[in-house]
Amino acid sequence: MNPGRQAAHAKKKQRSLFSEFDEDEKQPNSAIVAAFRERLTKVAGFKFVPEPLPMTNRKNAVVYYLFLRRRRPVAQNIITHIFTQSRRQA
């Protein structure tokens, strides 16, 4: 199973009348976002990946998450400040 699928689905034991089996259970968005953020740091090699900004529609449903990543610490404070201000306005 590929790493993306492992982050999005977890095995859950289910019982039927005659047997027990594993079933895939969808994980919450927070688990998927955390796995993607970890992958940006460990696999892609970006040292500075702040918490992503959830982008919502008019009904306040999350449509996607905005990730910004940097290899150098120069932009870390700027990105964190922009994200913090955006979260306060929401």
Look at 2 and 27; give whichever has higher pLDDT.
Answer: 27
Pairing of strands 20-26, 9-15: antiparallel
Tens digit of each residue's pLDDT (9 = 90 or more) over 22-72:
777 788 888 889 999 999 999 988 888 888 888 889 998 999 998 988 777
Residue 87 has pLDDT above 80, yes or no: no
Enclosing domain of residue 48: 3-89
Residue 3 has pLDDT above 70, yes or no: no
Q: How many domains does the chain have?
A: 1
φ/ψ (deg, to 5) at 51:
-55, 135
User: Do the Cβ atoms of 51 and 83 come closer than 8 Å?
Assistant: yes
Q: Give SS3 for 3.
A: helix
Question: What integer pLDDT is reported at residue 65 of this predicted model?
Answer: 92
Q: How confident is the model at residue 13 (pLDDT cuts 50, 70, 90)?
A: low
